[in-house]
Homo-oligomer: A and B are copies of this chain.
Amino acid sequence: MFIELDLQSETPIYAQLVDQIVEGIASGALQPGDPLPSVRSLGEDLGINLHTVNKSYNLLKQEGFLQVHRKKGVIVQPDGMPGVTDAFEEKLRRQLRSLAAEAAVRGMTEAAFTQMSTSLYRDTITNRGGEQR
């Protein structure tokens, strides 16, 4: 697996896991229908508890990024990813506003902020099929 955790970080482990799985989907490293490790094996691999993995999986399931099959186990959503919901747009607005404000106060120009947003977006979707380029 491509997961790397920082146990010293202030960001909770379950949140780091959620982030990196979403980034895996964005980059194409994880394709729709791909299986994910069981909560027990991934927990053991990463040196963390299975309940921590389970928490991440459940959040991603609730958001619609993962499916849990009684047969196939946990897989990446094969029936189309969730779109831009109101909840996501609100989260995006709130966090971008906060970052933009601090950036502006610190003297970062609009061009620099915009360029950084764009380049980070591009970085995430590098190894992808043919969607939104």
A13 to chain B, nearest CB (A): 15
* A38 interface residue (CB < 8 Å to B): no
Known: A97-B123, A109-B132. A92 touches B82 (CB 8 A): no
Interface size class of A (residues with CB under 8 A): 35 or more
Most buried by B among A84, A95, A96: A96
Chain B residues near A118 (CB-CB < 8 A): 110, 113-114, 117
Beyond A92-B116, A116-B96, A132-B109, whether A26 also contacts B104 by CB under 8 A is yes
Q: Which of A32-86 contact B (CB under 8 A)?
A: 65, 81-85
User: Contact: B105 with A26, CB < 8 Å?
Assistant: yes
Shortest distance in angstroms between A126's beta carbon and chain B's nearest beta carbon?
11
Q: Are B106 and A88 in contact (CB under 8 A)?
A: yes
- Cβ distance A119 to chain B, nearest Cβ, rounded Å: 9
Determine how close the nearest CB of chain B comes to the CB of A125; give it in whole angstroms.
5
Asked if A8 is an interface residue, CB under 8 A from chain B, the answer is no
Residues of A within 8 A of B (CB): 19, 22-23, 25-27, 65, 81-85, 88, 92-93, 95-110, 113-114, 116-118, 120-125, 131-133
